[in-house]
Chain A
Amino acid sequence: MAEMYGWTGKMLRVDLSSGKISHIDTSQYVPQFIGGLGIAAKIAWDELKPGTGPFEPDNILMVMVGPLTGTLASGAGRVEVMGIAPQQHPPVFSRSGMGGHWGPELKYAGFDGIVVQGKAAKPVYIWINDGKVEIRDASNIWGTGTYATTAALRAMHGPKTRVIVCGQAGEKLSRIAVVQTETGNAAGQGGYGGVMGSKNLKAIAVRGTRGVRLARPAEFLELCLNASREGESPARLAMMEAYGMKTYSKLKESGVGYRRRKCGFCITPCMHEMHMNVPGEASSGVYTTARQCWGYSASYRAHIEARAITSDYGINGWEVSYGIIPWLQLCRQHSLIDKIDGIEIPVPEKPIQYLSDCAPCPAEFLKVLLHKIAFREGAIGDALADGACYAADRLFDGKGESLLDRIYPRHAGQTEHWGGHWGPGGVVYYPWWLPPILQWCVDTRDPANDSTHQWTEHVQYYLTQSGPDRGPFPLEKVRAVSAKVYGNPDVCDPAFEYDPPETKAIPAIWHHDRGMIINSLILCDNEHTRVFSMLSEDGAADTSLRSKLLSAGTGIETSEQELDKAGERIFNLLRAIDIRNYDRNRKVDEQTIDGFMYPGKDDGVMMDKSKFLKLLDKYYELRNWNKRNGWPTRAKLEELGLKEVADELEAVGKLG
């Protein structure tokens, strides 16, 4: 094998049923599939057959890094976790990412990813130390929380050991169990902690000192330094500042100690930087936690405690606070339930229309609820451990199902986010929420993990007009950047709503494809891909930054167009998996729309379904998918070098 730069050149395959550990040659997948999500998609296409359940040994758990992981590129600490996702309703092959220090450590230990298959006979963990790999007995850490597990593995393998781990929730096959790393990061959505639990895999511990070699280090360094100097919109910085100040003042009131922290290998201004000292009243021995992804607690102390408990049990705090709790409150408003273990479910006086209407929860309620979920206690804990969508199937004779409508598009297991409707996510005004909803229609998860943020969190903060926010650029400048980046000046012009339809379909596709690239390199979507820049003369960001980084890092010259094509290739391959294995089609895509048929939370604007369907038509057309069934055409797949995918889809009658 030729020497590789950027990539380490090999991935691990661990079969827990047989105990066999082997290597996969990375070079057979790159540069075509880049790394990370791209390679995982190819492996899933090749190996995951229709009909496999998420908790069956045949499900493959892939924990992947990419060619830029562990490098100086900002956001290079991320990991992508993939496999059949139990949280999805019904389960489909999907993805979830997390930041932190584990991904770079895996790279430094010599691997571009781990593919875990089968099921161990008894609890085990995987220990990777500079290229050496062992499957070890985990009976002494089975049953412990993520914090105690991490501490135990650090005590055994050294303080610089990095660990990903499932908590008690994962062991109990909760569909909302996370893959946790340290105290502040987790692959939250998808339920991959439960997949670890189903494989009797408690943790993967890594230590590496080998480093990532780059083809042209001086050029790479210069690219990173210049990128880090790229300006941020004052409107976005002001938004983050305001959010930060709000948090600081709450903290001051609460008396909770804190320090700031980033999630690793990143210099981008970002809100994910709080790290607290936890009061330790509800969960003693837990010192620190992230602030993120939890809301609607009665006090900041309750918030911090709840966050620490979810991380320790390995529960998806996002799902609990933005999905399960609001749904329980709705159920109480509809007289389906009023108490859990004698503790009243908090409920607001007026009917809940949006997430922001929900009543704050006291610490005592949260503590009981989280314990019941983590340990599947009682009928209610057992049901809620699978998330609100599965709980609605089992509880209250199905009467809670319609109450999922606003929270979960398509009832597919993931709460609406950054789509301008239910919330969470920031302020997004009409018509800017139309592209995110198009992305929701075709994705297997909440697309605001890799694709939507680039649009909703970046683009709108440069526009002259976007709700209460006033961006820095006049309309002419915005239109010029829009023409340069998207090839269409009208995309960022608020004068255009549904017409012409490409003004919404273009950014939906553009950012989705780039989301695939970000998750394959792997970088962070909070930084990439920028459209606007405060520093360039014309106001446009350098959209070729990723291809330049990849070229200088790996030595394989890749143009921006070639990298974009790779993103499109990966997106089409994921679509093909969804079609072949789970019968995805236009009908399913369209079911998403009903989850958004109520006035937007920030602007009160109602979506026009018939007009939106025309956007969807245009979306399929620009994708060169068949408009009737939403399946990719042979021409498109062959153009992307996916002839064998076209052949296989044709053989099962699902080629567009």
Chain B
Amino acid sequence: MAKSAKTANLHLQKLPRSGSIKIDRNACLACRECEVVCSLYHEEECNPALSRIQVTFDDFVPSFPSLSVCKQCDWPACYYACADVLGESAIEIDPVTGARFINESKCIGCGACLRACPLTPEIPVIYYKMVNSKRVYFKCDLCKDRAEGPLCVEICPGGALTFVPAKKGGKTDG
């Protein structure tokens, strides 16, 4: 999609950095409590299919589990891609944590964010659900409304997840 003058400008705008969730997959016990607590908090049901963090593992492959969750990029391609479509991004920046979160009431379900994400398609971290037969996209918002911080970090029994606040640099481990 061609960029409008307004959004081209927006691409140059420097966004506040975000905190992020640091992953140590070697410490993951594959219990999937992060998936359950994430869906319970955000979707009011226990459903790993609606979790913002995903654990992938296979007992028949001798490797550590993979954990995928939004890295809250310094230059969030999803944010700009959404703005290109809507004029004003439905992905917003939380003033406290810096989390790039999808304002579900503004999401039109086009999927531009998912396509723009540099992790797509190998490690998708943006997902959609069906609400009234329409797609609504969702991704990690660092539990921005929760004073205690992200729930997945709090619940993890293996110590595989750490919340790194923005002021410390916010770089994820890639």
A593 within 8 A of partner (CB): no
How close is A206's CB to chain B, nearest CB, in angstroms? 13
Check: A191 CB closer than 8 A to any chain B CB: no
In angstroms, how far is the closest chain A Cβ from the Cβ of B36? Answer: 5
The CA-CA distance from A210 to B37 in the complex, in Å, is: 15
| A211 near B39: Cβ-Cβ < 8 Å | yes
B residues 39-73 in Cβ contact with A at 8 Å: 39-41, 43-50, 56, 58-62, 64
B158–A260 touching, CB < 8 Å: yes
Q: Is the CB of B41 within 8 A of A221?
A: yes
Bound Cα distance from A269 to B31, whole angstroms: 12
A287 touches B62 (CB 8 A): yes
| Bound-complex Cα distance A156 to B150 (A) | 36
Q: How large is the interface on A (under 10, 10 to 19, 20 to 34, 35 or more residues)?
A: 35 or more
Q: Smallest CB-CB separation from A553: which chain B residue?
A: B46
A265 engages B40 (CB within 8 Å): no
In the complex, which residues of chain A have a beta carbon less than 8 angstroms from the beta carbon of B39?
211
In this complex, what residue of B is CB-closest to A150? B60
Given A72-B36, A147-B60, A228-B155, A262–B46 Cβ distance below 8 Å? no
Give the contact stretch, choosing among A212-220, A446-454, A562-570.
A212-220
Q: Are A217 and B40 in contact (CB under 8 A)?
A: yes
Which of A70, A211, A212, A261 neighbours the largest number of chain B CB atoms within 10 Å of its CB? A211
CB of B127 to closest CB in A, whole Å: 11
Q: Which residues of chain A are within 8 angstroms of B29 by Cβ–Cβ distance?
A: 260-262, 273
Measured CB to CB, the closest approach of chain B to A264, in angstroms, equals 6
Q: Which of A186-228 contact B (CB under 8 A)?
A: 209-214, 217-218, 220-221, 224-225, 228
B29 vs chain A, min Cβ distance (A): 4
Residues of chain A contacted by B59 (CB below 8 angstroms): 150, 182-184, 275, 287-288
Give the CA-CA distance A22 to B41 in the complex, in Å: 34
A532 CA to B151 CA, complexed, in Å: 26
A458 to B62, CA, bound (A): 34
B157 and A267 form a contact (CB under 8 A): yes
B26 is an interface residue with CB less than 8 A from chain A = yes
Provide the residues of chain A in CB contact with B104, threshold 8 Å: none
Complex CA–CA separation, A261 to B64 (angstroms): 9
Cα distance A261–B18 when bound, in Å? 31
Binary interface encoding of chain B residues 138-156 relative to chain A, with 1 for a CB under 8 A from any of its CBs, else 0: 0000000000000100111
A585 interfacial contact with B, CB 8 Å: no
Tell me if B88 is interfacial: C-beta within 8 Å of chain A: no
Question: Does B74 sit at the interface, judged by CB under 8 A?
Answer: no
Measured between C-beta atoms, what is the minimum distance from A422 to chain B in Å? 32
Q: Does A94 belong to the interface (CB within 8 Å)?
A: no
Complex contact A267–B31 (CB within 8 A): yes
Interface centre among B32, B44, B59, B62 (most CB of A within 10 A): B59
Inter-chain CA distance A183–B60, complex, in Å, is 8
B-side interface residues, number (CB < 8 Å): 32
Q: Which among B56, B156, B157 has the greatest number of chain A C-beta atoms within 10 A?
A: B157
Scan residues 207-256 of chain A and give those whose CB is less than 8 A from a CB of chain B: 209-214, 217-218, 220-221, 224-225, 228
Partner of B30, one of A76, A264, A267, A287: A264
B33: Cβ under 8 A from any A Cβ: yes
Q: Which of B49, B60, B157 is the one whose CB lies under 8 Å from A211? A: B49
Q: A71-B46, A108-B49, A209-B49 are in contact. Are A265 and B58 (CB under 8 A)?
A: no
Residues of A72-102 at the interface with B, using a CB-CB cut-off of 8 Å, are 72, 74, 76-77, 101
A7 to chain B, nearest CB (A): 13
Q: Cα distance A266–B33 when bound, in Å?
A: 7
A72 and B40 contact, CB distance less than 8 A: yes
Q: Quick check: A159 and B58 within 8 Å, CB to CB?
A: yes
Instruction: Determine whether the beta carbon of B37 is less than 8 Å from that of A72.
Output: yes
Please measure, in the bound complex, the distance between the C-alpha atom of A218 and the C-alpha atom of B64, giving whole angstroms.
Answer: 32
User: What is the number of contacts between chain A and chain B, taking CB atoms within 8 Å?
Assistant: 103
Q: Which residue of B lies closest to A5 (CB)?
A: B45
A629 interfacial contact with B, CB 8 Å = no
Interface string of B20-35 (1 = CB under 8 A from A): 0000001001111100
Tell me how far the C-beta of A288 lies from the nearest C-beta in chain B, rounded to whole angstroms.
5
Chain B residues whose C-beta falls within 8 Å of the C-beta of A147 in the assembled complex? 60
Q: A183-B60, A220-B40, A259-B64 are in contact. Are A211 and B46 (CB under 8 A)?
A: yes
Instruction: Given A211-B45, A287-B62, answer yes or no on A261-B33 (Cβ-Cβ < 8 Å).
Output: no
B123 CB to nearest A CB, Å: 14
Nearest chain A residue, comparing its CB with the CB of B156: A267
**CB contact under 8 A between A262 and B31, given known A108-B48, A228-B155:** yes
**B60-A287 in contact (CB<8A):** yes
Contact with A along B152-166 (1 / 0, CB 8 A): 001111100000000
A211 to B32, CA, bound (A): 14
Pairwise interchain contact B158-A265, C-beta atoms closer than 8 A: no
CB-based contact B37/A221 at 8 Å: yes
Give, as a whole number of angstroms, the nearest-CB distance from A157 to chain B. Answer: 14
- 30 residue pairs A–B, Cβ–Cβ below 8 Å: A70-B46, A72-B33, A72-B37, A77-B31, A108-B48, A150-B60, A151-B60, A154-B58, A159-B56, A184-B59, A210-B47, A211-B46, A211-B50, A212-B45, A212-B47, A214-B46, A217-B40, A220-B40, A221-B37, A225-B155, A257-B62, A260-B29, A260-B158, A262-B30, A262-B158, A265-B32, A267-B31, A267-B157, A287-B59, A287-B62
List the 6 shortest-distance A-B pairs measured between CB atoms, nearest first.
A211-B47, A209-B49, A217-B44, A267-B157, A262-B31, A262-B29
Q: Which residues of B contact A (CB under 8 A)?
A: 26, 29-33, 36-37, 39-41, 43-50, 56, 58-62, 64, 151, 154-158
Beyond A209-B47, A221-B41, 20 additional contacts (C-beta under 8 Å) are A70-B36, A108-B48, A108-B49, A151-B60, A159-B58, A209-B49, A211-B39, A211-B46, A211-B49, A214-B45, A218-B44, A221-B37, A221-B151, A260-B158, A262-B29, A262-B31, A262-B157, A264-B31, A269-B157, A287-B59
